Copies of this chain bind each other. A is one copy, B any other.
Amino acid sequence: MRRLNLPNAVFVDNSASVEVASKYLELLEDGVSVVTPNKLAASGGYDYFVSLKNVARKKGVSFLYETNVGAALPVIGTLRDLVNSGDKVLRIEGVLSGTLSYIFNSFDGRVGFSEVVKEAKLKGFTEPDPRDDLNCSDVARKILILARECGYGLEYGDVVVNQFLPMACLEAESVEEFWVRLKSFDGYFEDMRSKAVSGGGVLRCVARFEGGRAVVGLEVVSKEHSFYGLSGSDNVIAFTTSRYKERPLVIKGSGAGGEVTASGVFADIIKAANYL
């Protein structure tokens, strides 16, 4: 096998490609650090992920992916500091999708749910097919990554996703057909919303990790909860641990978008370079 001879090099993968992610092991074995916002390695097969960490350690280089969760928000580094310093993570709760955060923060009853999603798409917040956001697969990958940082060898398939999108919408054969079907469920979503509001709550797509189980789904969040007052496309993550037991350690802020993601990638590159 051809060996690279690039001392002190850092490979930055800004793609979302599984093919590129499959090259990390070779790169790390060649002594090249890897920095990436691409979630596919950290949320792919657990064995591959662990081998990346082990090879990086053995070679004295870095494998950094802070931007996999919450873009530049200090989520993974903070969790790692907690775990490394001997804290025990009791519960992780988060609103981990900027897109879903924006959609449910904007869904206030003035227009139907399908209109809110359409608006989010027009503003560039969603994937070309909004179901790629609404099916929570992205959120499932993120909570999986956090579970693994806590030392749990979970696989993607172990994450329970309580789909809030009706099957008819999920299974529509085209995006056009999806929009038609989503509109027909406006009443369904409005019922959910008004029921939540009349109980003093709001709808939020929450990811949880507790007792070794990762679950993602739509929840009614009450006024007392720190996820109630979320706005825009903000992410929020709350760590309840042995040391932050009565009240969690909370990190909140913009968790999506090119600018903050680039800034987080850059911070990781600096860390990789400092480590070399």
Contact = CB atoms under 8 A, between A and B. Distances in A.
Nearest to A79: B74
A257 to B, nearest CB: 9
Contacts of A151: none
Given A77-B74, A229-B229, A248-B253, A86 B266 contact: yes
A139 to B, nearest CB: 20
A232 B249 CA distance: 13
Give the copy number: 2
A110 to B, nearest CB: 20
Interface in A68-114: 72-74, 77-78, 81-82, 84-87
Interface string A241-271: 0011011111111100001100110110010
Interface residues on A, range: 35 or more
A274 interface: yes
Given A74-B78, A267-B81, A247 B232 contact: yes
A18 B243 CA distance: 29
Contact of A253 (B232, B244, B275): B244
Given A74-B77, A74-B81, A232 B252 contact: no
Contact of A250 (B72, B85, B250, B260): B250
Interface string A174-217: 00000000000000000000000000000000000000000000
Interface string A205-245: 00000000000000000000010010110100000000110
A183 B87 CA distance: 41
Interface of A: 72-74, 77-78, 81-82, 84-87, 226, 229, 231-232, 234, 243-244, 246-254, 259-260, 263-264, 266-267, 270, 274-275
